[in-house]
Amino acid sequence: MSTTERDGASPGDLLPGALEGVRVVELASEFGAFAGKLLADLGADVVLVEPPGGHPTRRFAPFADDVEDPERSLYFWHYNTSKRAVVVDLDTPAGARDLRRLVAEADVVVEAEAPGRLAHLGLDHADLRADHPELVWVAITPFGRDNPRAGEPATDLTVLAGGGPVWSCGYDDHTLPPVRGGGNQGLHTACLWATMGALTALLAREVTGRGQLVDVSMHAAANVTTEAATYEWLVAGQTVQRQTARHAAVSPTMNTDALCADGRQVNTGVPPRSADEFRGVVEWLDEIGDRSAFPDVALLEIGVERGGVQIHEIFADAEAMAVFGAGREAIQFIAERVSAYDFFVGAQSRGLPCGIIYAPDEVLSDPHFVARGFPVTVHHGGIGRDVTHPGAPFAMPRSPWRIRRPAPRVGEHQDEIFGPAPPDPR
Amino acid sequence: MASSSALSHLRICDFTGQLAGAGATKFLAAMGAQVIRIEDPVRQGRWDILRGMPPYIDERRGVDLSGAFNNHNVEKLGVTINLRTEAGRDLVRRLIAISDVVSENFAAGVLARMGFPYEEMTRIRPDIIYVSNSGFGAEGPYRRFKTWGPIVQAVSGLTFSSGLPGLGPAGWGYSYMDHHGGNVMAIAILAALLHRSRTGEGQWVDMSCTDAGAWLDGPAMLDFTVNGRSLRREGMPNSNRSQSPPMAPHGIYPAAGDDRWVAVACRDDADWTALAKVVGEPWAAGDRFATLEGRLAGEDALDEALGAWTRRYDRDEVAARLRGAGVPASIVATPEDRIEHDPGTSAWGLWPTVHHTEIGDVRVDGIPLHLSETDWHIEQGAPCLGEHNDLVFGEILGLSPDEIDELRSEGAI
């Protein structure tokens, strides 16, 4: 993309990432893998430590060509880009020695082991930081390491249910269950905070010379990721209620989705209120050739003439209420007559915030994402083909975000990291 | 209690607002960075729509009394600067000169039009880190498009992927992408600071919040790019179930009472066996559902049978009995449940009370991580409009009281 050119820096591929030189040991896990990916794609050297045979997430669907194989899990491929991998059996003395060797060279450890497991093996942060006080140790657990609920079993679903997000998501019809949003967002939320904690601890270390423990609670992360649901309660003692595809609210609000002519949906945002917006809607009706078919064009024109409608007028002034209602109707009317994409671009180009509701895979061919270089191609040698992955969340021209290599095969970097001899004769 | 020393060596010249920006600098402030939030005195800071918005702690209203604004701006210093005036722009130049980072989440290009393109910032301070966060970023065909959380969520694929079959998108009942976008923005700031430590270089990080959202369903995306299988297909999305990895039962089931629910996830056959024992009914004990294959093949019937069982009991009882057997289970917690009655949050100290100059004492969202040596600290509420003008312009920039009065009288602050 053009940000590098704009900035006058060299092409991104040749530049090291922002975390160049940061060495990370990640104990493979379901809950912490995304944190390792964030660090690795930002340029850290992340060594993924897996048990013999590879981590169980290698057996998570979907698989490339639907062939179930630990080297073909697309789940694993996504969450482990840019990492190197070794096999270490932490339950053996030799494995424990190998881990100590790796950690001795590391700046950061990322782990999501069940609370107590590493302490039992003598491999907890206290054991390994004793000789290595500059080490930053990031622990991601469902409730925090020392929490009264620390022993409870949890998954993404139960974390999001108990932590608040699920209460706010679902449909107007409350006989339907509330909904967990898709895509492992409980894990993602915790891993973002874990990464913020790791980077903060690295910056603090520049001043203090010392590392520390970063204790991340997935449950707490979900709890502080619910926007008004929390502060409506904290501040006013009020409880929000879920609504279809829009914010949960204390009092019901108008729907904001519309079905377009091609059967796809859009989020219509806020209806027109300013004179320019009403003018734009009238022009839009003309453009699609249906001005005469919309019964309330006159009200839209009043909206232009009166200089728009103010929020407080909508509930107090009959004309304003009628004009505002006509604007809402016009938006729905237009939506039913054009494709979702044309509605999205047509609304936005008239200054009306609106969003097309894409399936996750559909963003990859959208002109915005293509222009920003969001889809990135990674060569997967294991199956001998190029695979398109989601790319950078931001343009960072002097230290670009980059997928440096595809997810590693089981033990792919064993020799490179431990040397050609077996780590221990056993 | 002293403030955190984790980032106390850093100063942020902060133009952010709402949550997608303010959330990023709230974290930095809680970690000890000196965050100087700049607001427009002419519009009383109302570019940030949360200034003056509900909820309120009592019957008082006004730009200094929003509980939402307070929640996202704790531990920050607040100043007012009128960028339409040369004296105001000069104050910003002086602040940039002593700051490590300039952060903002205006629409793309707005700060440049107000006189502060990145090139101007580098003239003031060559190693400045500038992080902008807009809906679609500063470059690209949609750079002028406007967004807020639900629109970012729609375009990035998140709205679509939350829902039950045949019912259309349920979406997200809050601006998930404001939280997530703020967190990604914080990561961008912190990573750019580490890059500067190593190289001495600053840079402009141009964040597109929608791109940061599109990053959040990678396995579904790869299922398309590798297997050609879109999430837009019959029976999908079905996000209360688990496809990756497949688990069953996995869902949100009714409990006794009105709008009371319990989430249950059987990760493997061992979880299922434990659940079947707790249920203790013939349908659960038989062979039909003994294997994952069988449970997936009969998932609708399984969900119906399990729902008929859970419906007979109180949600806490169901969750406790299943958890006691080692099966992941949780009530669908209401705000009151998780804030007032959950040892998981209270033991964490997740709802710190801050003192706000006008609002008084009120609880806010805390931080979901603890640092063992330099932990976060949240005690001071959000700044009132211009609350720290004297402190920042006087003690930090070194202006005399007369000079500050002059700025005030000419409408620059």
pLDDT at B16 over 70: yes
Closest alpha carbon within chain B to A233: B335
Per-residue confidence (pLDDT) for residue A265, from 0 to 100 = 96
For chain A positions 340-359, those within 8 Å of chain B (CB to CB) are 344, 348, 351, 353-359
For residues B5-14, average pLDDT: 97
Per-residue confidence (pLDDT) for residue B411, from 0 to 100 = 96
Distance CA A340, CA A262 (A): 7
Beta-carbon separation of B339 and A230 below 8 A: yes
All residue ranges of chain A with pLDDT < 70 are: 1-13, 421-426
Per-residue confidence (pLDDT) for residue A9, from 0 to 100 = 39
Residue B132 one-letter amino acid: S
Looking at every residue in chain B, the average pLDDT score rounds to 97
Q: Is B390 a catalytic residue?
A: no
Which of B63, B292, B185 lies closest to A396 in space, CA to CA? B185
For chain A positions 143-162, those within 8 Å of chain B (CB to CB) are 143-144, 147-149, 152-155, 157-162
Beta-carbon separation of B332 and A201 below 8 A: no
Beta-carbon separation of A387 and B367 below 8 A: no
Calculate what percentage of chain B has a pLDDT beyond 90: 99
CB atoms under 10 Å from CB of A341, counted, come to: 17
Using H for helix, E for strand and C for coil, what is the string for B238-255? CCCCEECCEECCEEEEEC
Per-residue confidence (pLDDT) for residue B353, from 0 to 100 = 98
CB B376 within 8 A of CB B53: no
Tens digit of each residue's pLDDT (9 = 90 or more) over B96-111? 999 999 999 999 999 9
From the list A174, A203, A371, the residue facing B259 with the nearest CB is: A174
- What is the token pair recorded at B350? 């997740």
Per-residue confidence (pLDDT) for residue A8, from 0 to 100 = 37
For residues B75-88, average pLDDT: 98
Tens digit of each residue's pLDDT (9 = 90 or more) over B117-149? 999 999 999 999 999 999 999 999 999 999 999
Per-residue confidence (pLDDT) for residue A422, from 0 to 100 = 56
Looking at every residue in chain A, the average pLDDT score rounds to 94
For residues B24-35, average pLDDT: 98
Of B40, B48, B178, B303, the catalytic one is B178
- What is the token pair recorded at A324? 């505002």
Confidence of residue B3 (pLDDT cuts 50, 70, 90): confident
Per-residue confidence (pLDDT) for residue A88, from 0 to 100 = 98
Which of A194, A80, A391, A186 lies closest to B190 in space, CA to CA? A194
pLDDT at B264 over 50: yes
For residues B292-304, average pLDDT: 98
- What ranges in A105-217 are assigned the alpha helix state H? 117-120, 125-129, 156-163, 185-208
Per-residue confidence (pLDDT) for residue A12, from 0 to 100 = 47
Question: Is residue A406 packed enough to be buried (19+ CB in 10 Å), middle (13-18) or exposed (0-12)?
Answer: buried
Tens digit of each residue's pLDDT (9 = 90 or more) over A112-134? 999 999 999 999 999 999 999 99
Per-residue confidence (pLDDT) for residue A420, from 0 to 100 = 75
Q: Mutation test of the interface with chain B: which of A203, A210, A215, A403, choosing the one with the most B Cβ atoms within 10 A?
A: A203
Distance CA B332, CA B112 (A): 45
Distance CA A25, CA A48 (A): 6
Confidence of residue B70 (pLDDT cuts 50, 70, 90): very high
Contact of B21 with chain A, judged by CB distance below 8 Å, is answered with no
Beta-carbon separation of B161 and A359 below 8 A: yes
Per-residue confidence (pLDDT) for residue B2, from 0 to 100 = 64
What residues of A are in contact with residue B253 (Cβ under 8 Å)?
A: 177
Residue B284 one-letter amino acid: A
Per-residue confidence (pLDDT) for residue A290, from 0 to 100 = 77
Per-residue confidence (pLDDT) for residue A384, from 0 to 100 = 87
CB A142 within 8 A of CB A154: yes
Which of B12, B20, B130, B132 lies closest to B75 in space, CA to CA? B12
DSSP B10-29: -EEEE---TTTTHHHHHHHH
In sequence order, the β-bridge partners of residue A24 are: A46, A108
Per-residue confidence (pLDDT) for residue A1, from 0 to 100 = 36
Beta-carbon separation of B219 and A266 below 8 A: no
CB atoms under 10 Å from CB of A213, counted, come to: 22
What residues of A are in contact with residue B247 (Cβ under 8 Å)?
A: 155
Contact of A333 with chain B, judged by CB distance below 8 Å, is answered with no
